[in-house]
Structure 1
C-alpha cells in the first residue's frame, strides 16, 4: 500500500503520479472521446501505483461531499497555498475549488484521514479490509452491520458519532446494515454514494469482468438512495438495480430478482448475453485461467447461464456445447478457437 504523501517528504516520482491521477480525475468527468478512454486505460495499466493514486483521489473527493462550511474554510486557509504549487494542482483546484485542494494534497486514504482529523474529530472506529484473489471474508462492524467481501476487494470503514462511512476502492461487497436513523450509513465508490438506514444490498466496483469499470448497486431488501456526479439521485427498493455508465453517471433503474443479489457468496456467477471475453475475465478474478483467445470473433461471442466460479475448468470444457468453438492445448494452458 502506498504511504500517505505529505508535502514535506513526497518524492518527485510520487508527486508526479498524484498530479497525473488528479488530472485524469478531472478529465474523466468532462466530455471525453474514445481516444481519451484508451489513453486513460493505458495509463492505468502502466503501473499499479497509477490505479492506487486514482482510487485515492476518487475516495477523497467522495468524502469531501459532507464537509461543513467551516471545515472547508479550515482546509482553504491551511492548505490552499501548498496545493497550488504546480500547474496540474492549479487546474484541479480551478475545477473543484477547495475540494480539489484536499484531493491534490491528500494523495491516499490515510492522507485524507489526516486532513479530516485535522478539520473534524477523530473517528471512533477506522479499519481497512482487503481480500486476495480467490478469498472471501465476512466482517462484523461495531454497529452490528456486516460486510461480506468478494475476491480482490478493498475498502475502508470509518465510524463517527453522527455518521458511518465505507469507502470501496475495488471489488464486490454485500452490505447488511444495522438500522440507526440518527447515524446514517453511507457507502462511496468512485462517482457513486449510497445512503441507507437499514437494508441489505450489494455493490460492485471492478475494472474487469462484468460491469467493467462501472459501479453497480443491487438491493435485496429495504431501500437505498444512490447519487452520482452531483446529479439527481434515485431511490432503489428490493428487486431493483442501477449502474453507472462509462462517464460515471447513473443509468436506468432495472428490475432484478432479490434472490440473485450477491450470488457470488455461493460461488455462482450469472451471464446474461455476456461476451466470452468478459466471462473469462470474471472467472480470472477468482482463479488463474491460463486461457488464450486470439481470435476477436471468438472473444466477442455471447453466452447466457449461471456457473460455479470455483469450477473454471468445467466451464472451459463446456464451452463447445454452447458456442461454436473448440478447446485445444496451448503450452501450460488452453486456447479457445472457432470450431471447424
Structure 2
C-alpha cells in the first residue's frame, strides 16, 4: 500500500501544473488518506533533486538516470527541500500559439526563453512563479530555455514529458510518436503513462517515443539533429536523404506541392542545402542533375523521368 501511495504521489507531482478538473481530483486524493500529503511533499522534493542533477553535474560525476524510486527517496537533503514545497498551486492563464503552413515563428517568452515554432504547430504556454509549462498538441518547437533553477521548464507532448532548467532542445509531436532532441545542456524525459525510468539526455542525444507508456529509443546523432533543425533558418539540409523525404519536407511549407509522377524517383539520394520556400528552384536543380521533366502549374510541380526518344 505504501509503495502504491508513493507511486500515485509521483504521478501527481509530474502532472503539475494542474487544470481546474485535475486540481479537484488531487484535492479528493489528498483527503482520502492522511499519508497522501507527506507522499506528495516527498515527490515534489524528489523533483527538486532532479533539477540539481540536471543543472549541476560535476566533471567527476557521470549524469545519473534516476528511476521514480530514486526520485521519491528520503534523506536530509530531500526533507529540507520538501519543507519549501507549497501545495497551493497557482491557477494559470495559457497563451495559445498556432502556426500555419509555411510559417516559422520565433517567439520570445516572458521568462527570457525563446520558442522557435515550426510550420503547422499548435501549443499552449503557461508561465507560473514555480514552473514553466508548454503543452505541445501538434507539430514541432525548439526551445532555448533561460536558466532558472526555481522554475523548471516542462514540455507535455502527450505520450512523453520533457523537463529542463537551462538548456536547448527540440520536441516533435506527430502521427508516428514524439521525438526529443537535445542541442545544448541536458534534459530529463519519461513516458507520460509509465512508472519506469526517467532518462537524462545530453547534447547530441535523442529519444523516440512510439507508444503510450512505452520506453523510448535512445540514440546519439549530433550531426543529424542539427541538419533536422535547419528549418529554423528556413532551410532543408539533405545528407544522403531520399527524394521522397525531401519532397515531404518541402510540401510541409508550401502551398504549391511537389509531386513525384514517377515512383522510381522516391529513393534517389540527395545532398545539399536548399531554401524551404523555393520549391521551384529545388525542382529546377533536380531537372538538371537527374535529367527530369519538370512541369509547373499553380497547384503543383510534377517530377518525372524523361522518356527516351524511342518510346
Q: TM-score range by the shorter chain?
A: 0.5 to 0.7
Instruction: Please say if 1:315 is aligned against 2:282.
Output: yes
**What is the distance in 1 between the residues matched to 2:115 and 2:25?**
31
Query: 1:287 Cα deviation (Å)?
Result: 1.2
Count of aligned residue pairs for this structure pair = 233
Query: 1:198 Cα deviation (Å)?
Result: 0.5
Give the equivalent residue in structure 2 for 1:220. Answer: 183
**What is the distance in 2 between the residues matched to 1:269 and 1:334?**
18
**Mapped contact 2:256–2:299 kept (Cα < 8 A):** no
Instruction: Encode CA deviations 1:143-188: one digit per residue, 9 max, x unaligned.
Output: 2212121222210011233322101112221211121222211111
Using structure 2 for the length normalisation, give the TM-score. 0.63
Determine helix, strand or coil for the equivalent of 1:195.
strand
**Mapped contact 1:240–1:254 kept (Cα < 8 A):** yes
Deviates more, 1:191-200 or 1:66-75: 66-75
More helix by share: 1
- Which ranges of structure 1 fall in alignment gaps of 5 or more residues? 1-61, 78-118, 208-212
Instruction: Encode CA deviations 1:197-236: one digit per residue, 9 max, x unaligned.
Output: 11112222245xxxxx332222221111122252424322
Determine helix, strand or coil for the equivalent of 2:216.
coil
**What is the distance in 1 between the residues matched to 2:139 and 2:234?**
15
Give the equivalent residue in structure 2 for 1:242. Answer: 207
Determine helix, strand or coil for the equivalent of 1:252.
strand
Instruction: Please say if 1:327 is aligned against 2:287.
Output: no
**What is the distance in 1 between the residues matched to 2:114 and 2:257?**
35
**What is the distance in 2 between the residues matched to 1:63 and 1:172?**
26
1:319/1:245 Cα in 2 relative to 1: closer, same or farther (>3 Å)?
farther
**Mapped contact 2:258–2:279 kept (Cα < 8 A):** no
Question: Which residue of 248, 253, 266 maps to 2:219?
Answer: 253
**What is the distance in 2 between the residues matched to 1:331 and 1:142?**
41
Give the equivalent residue in structure 1 for 2:15. Answer: 66
Query: 1:237 Cα deviation (Å)?
Result: 1.7
Using structure 1 for the length normalisation, give the TM-score. 0.58
1:307/1:249 Cα in 2 relative to 1: closer, same or farther (>3 Å)?
farther
Which structure: larger Rg?
2
Give the equivalent residue in structure 1 for 2:163. Answer: 195
Give the equivalent residue in structure 1 for 2:236. Answer: 269
**What is the distance in 1 between the residues matched to 2:292 and 2:199?**
42
Question: Which residue of 110, 120, 124 maps to 1:156?
Answer: 124
